C-alpha cells in the first residue's frame, strides 16, 4: 500500500463503492487530487463481482444473474430486458414455512387458472419476503429462506418458455440449497440453461398475476455474470 500525507491530496473518499467512485471521479474532474481509501482488495463495493455460490458464477450482492457459459450481462438481449411477467403468489405458504419450496405442481395449478406462462417472459415468485428487507437478520433468517425444488428448477430450465425467474429473497435458490442434489439448482440448472435471474425484488404485491410488462436495466458489465439492476413494471390501468 502506498503512503500519502494530507498535504498531497485535496480530498479523501472513504469506500470504493459506486457512490465513492463517482464522487472521486467528479472531484478529480474538477481538478482536485483525490485519494480513495478501501479496506478490501477489490474496488466496487456492492457492484464488485466475485464467486459467491458456484465456481464460474460471478455476481454482486444485489443483482441480476446469468449463466456462466452463455451471454454476459452486456450481451443481454433487448427482448429479455423488456418482457411480460407472470406472478405466482405463495405468500401464505411461506408464512407457515420459511423453507417452503416452489414445485412444478404450483406452476401447473397457476397455468390452469391464468393460462400458459409467457413465451420469453419472466416468472416472478412472490413470497412476502420483501417485508423483511429493512432487517438484515430477518432477511437472511439464519439460512431459512424460501426457494425452488430441484425438480422445479429443472422444469423451469428445460420445459418452461420463460427467459428468466425473479424472487424477493437474497438469491434465486433456497437457503437450504447447498444441501440439494445438485446444490443450488437454480444456479446450476436454470442459469446453466442460459436463462436469467433477478433477486431482492420489491413491490410484487402490487402486480397482477398476468399483464405486467417488466423492464430490467442491469449495468452492461463486459464479462460479468451479475450486476445491480433497476427493475420496473408497467401495469395497465
Phi-psi region of 152 (alpha: psi -120 to 50; beta: other; left: phi over 0): alpha
Q: Give residues with Cβ within 8 angstroms of 236, minimum separation 6.
A: 211
Q: What is the pLDDT of residue 62?
A: 43
Query: What residue spans of the chain are helical by DSSP H?
Result: 18-29, 78-81, 91-96, 104-114, 136-140, 150-158, 185
DSSP 186: I
Q: pLDDT confidence of 57, banded at 50, 70, 90?
A: very low
Question: pLDDT digits over 136-161, tens only?
Answer: 899 999 999 999 999 999 999 999 99
Q: Provide the grid cell at 138.
A: 430477518
Burial class (CB in 10 A: 0-12, 13-18, 19+), 94: buried
Q: Provide the grid cell at 149.
A: 425444488
Q: What is the pLDDT of residue 50?
A: 54
User: Is the CB of residue 112 less than 8 Å from the CB of residue 106?
Assistant: no
Positions annotated as catalytic residues are: 63
Residues in the chain: 237
Mean pLDDT of 49-78: 58
Has this prediction a pTM greater than 0.85?
Answer: no
Amino acid at each position: 500500500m502506498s503512503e500519502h500525507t494530507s498535504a498531497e491530496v485535496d480530498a479523501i473518499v472513504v469506500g470504493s463503492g459506486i457512490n465513492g467512485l463517482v464522487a472521486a471521479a467528479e472531484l478529480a474532474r474538477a481538478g482536485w487530487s483525490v485519494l480513495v481509501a478501501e479496506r478490501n482488495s477489490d474496488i466496487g463495493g456492492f457492484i464488485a463481482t466475485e464467486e459467491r455460490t458456484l465456481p464460474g458464477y460471478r455476481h454482486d450482492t444485489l443483482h441480476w444473474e446469468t449463466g456462466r457459459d452463455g451471454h454476459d450481462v452486456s450481451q443481454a438481449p433487448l427482448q429479455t430486458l423488456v418482457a411480460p411477467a407472470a406472478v405466482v403468489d405463495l405468500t401464505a405458504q411461506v408464512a407457515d414455512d420459511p423453507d417452503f419450496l416452489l414445485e412444478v405442481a404450483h406452476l401447473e395449478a397457476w397455468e390452469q387458472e391464468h393460462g400458459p406462462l409467457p413465451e420469453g417472459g419472466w416468472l416472478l415468485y412472490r413470497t412476502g419476503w420483501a417485508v423483511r428487507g429493512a432487517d438484515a437478520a430477518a432477511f437472511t433468517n439464519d439460512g431459512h429462506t424460501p426457494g425452488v425444488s430441484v425438480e422445479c428448477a429443472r422444469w423451469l430450465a428445460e420445459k418452461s418458455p420463460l427467459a428468466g425467474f425473479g424472487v424477493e429473497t437474497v438469491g434465486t435458490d433456497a437457503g437450504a440449497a447447498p444441501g440439494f442434489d445438485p446444490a443450488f439448482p437454480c444456479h446450476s440448472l436454470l442459469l446453466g440453461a442460459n436463462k436469467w435471474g433477478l433477486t431482492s425484488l420489491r413491490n410484487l404485491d402490487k402486480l397482477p398475476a398476468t399483464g405486467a410488462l417488466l423492464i430490467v436495466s442491469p449495468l452492461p458489465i463486459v464479462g460479468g455474470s451479475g450486476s445491480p439492476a433497476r427493475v420496473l413494471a408497467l401495469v395497465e390501468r
